[in-house]
Each structure stands twice: as structure tokens, then as C-alpha cells.
Amino acid sequence: MSQAAISVWLLVFAVVAYRIAGTLPDDPAGFRFGWALTGSAFLIQGINSGAHDAFAIAGFTGGPDSWAWSAVIWWHPILNHSRTFLLTTFCLVLTARLVQSGAGRGAWLWRNTTPILFAGMAVGGFVGWLEPEFSGISHYTAVALWDVMELLAMLIVLFVGLTSGRMDRVLWFCLGINAFVLAVSVLWFAALSRIDFAGQWVPMRYHIHFAKATLYAVMVALAYRMLRSLHNGERVQGFLERDRRVAPSLHG
């Protein structure tokens, strides 16, 4: 159930991100683009994750001798790696947008971000399809390694978003939480790849899933609070931006 909750929170976050993008003005800083792209990426990720959950439930319900179990084993690497490459592609596109200068530059890229995200997911699916016959030590090691790639891409986005002033504070914090989830995922899958080794300790699956679902719920709460603030007329600020208040005059 906690794993299914992750998919639900991803989809809810995507919906709120789209609503934020629709509420924001088309500002020079590009805050609107960041939320729209985030909504697209997390919507695709949530649908992918939900399909993975459906496969897993059918497989575990049918048992090891069922066709559903065989389907789970075959699709497991494809779906896992496709989400990793999807979010990595998202990070690359968002980073390119944050560092670009000039409204006309990269216009084709900004108009075709959704196909680009799907292309990244397809590459990840192909990587999963190329994996040898499923085994815990091979697949979970591969997941941990590719998650490191995604984590590095996410950290680059956070750094560029911080220094460029073109990412608002709430989106930065939401992606920061997602980066923390990735760091936990790397450690968990690295441990999980050694689950068959005698004396190896591995956290329980539902503990990790519950922690990840909780962190995604925090992301939703932050995004929803921003949406409410926008409806109340509050101004969106870049991460390092400060309110410009006029100092009181010493001479009256």
C-alpha cells in the first residue's frame, strides 16, 4: 500500500504543479516554465509508477507460477530504469532552460519538452530491456548506479537553480526533497542487492516506501501552499531574491 501511495502522491504533485504553472504569469525569470516542465515529468513518472504497482500486485497475487509473475519479472527492469532516465532527462532540460539567455534561444526545445521526456524514458526502458535475466544482485546494483546518475543530475539542477535566480524557492525545495529521496533510494538498492548474502542487513521494503511516500506528501503540501499563496496575490521570489524595502528617511 505504501508503494501505491508513492504513485498517488506523484500524480497529485503533478496536478498541483500544472495548476501553479497555469496561475503564474509568463515572467522573465521563467518560473512558469519550471513548474510546467515539473508537472509533465512527474505526471509521466506517476503513471509509469502506477502501472508498475499494478503489475506487482497482479504478480504477487498470482504467485510465482502465474503469467503475471513472469510479466513482472520481465517489465521490472524496464519500468525502473525508464523512470530514472525520465527524471534525468527532466533535469537536463530544466538545467538548459535555467542557463539559457535570450528569449528566442532554444525555442524548439521549449516547445517539445514532453516528447523529449518520453524519449528519455524510452532510452531507460531500452537499458532495462538489455539487462540479463533478472536477479537481485544484478538488477538492484544497476538501479543503484543509475540512481546515482539521476541524483547528480538533480543536484546540478539545484545548484544552477540556486545561482541563476531563475527557480523559485518552493520548486527548489520540492526538487531538493526529491533529491533526498534519491539519495535514500541509492543506499537502499545498494543494500538490497546484497540481500542474499549471509548476515547482510537490509531495511524492510515498507519502511522505505513509507518514508518516500511521506516525503512526497511534504512536496505536495509545499506546492499546494504556494498555489494558495498565488491565489492570495503573493509575489513569487527566486531563491536568493530579497524583498526590496525602502529604508526610512533620517531627515523626515
Q: pLDDT of 180-228, one tens digit each?
A: 998 888 777 666 665 555 455 565 666 677 888 899 999 999 999 999 9
Residue 168 CA to residue 160 CA, distance in Å, equals 12
Residue 247 CA to residue 81 CA, distance in Å, equals 54
Q: pLDDT of 90-114, one tens digit each?
A: 999 999 988 885 555 555 566 788 8
Question: 2-231, which class in CATH?
Answer: mainly alpha
What is the number of residues in the chain? 252
When mean pLDDT is compared across 9-13, 117-121, 144-148, the lowest value belongs to 144-148
Nearest to 181 by CA among 13, 1, 30: 13
Nearest to 84 by CA among 11, 148, 140, 132: 148
Q: Which three cell numbers stand for residue 79?
A: 519500468
**Structural domain spans, the chain:** 2-231
42-51: b (≥16 Cβ within 10 Å) or e: bbbbbebbbe
SS3 for 12?
helix
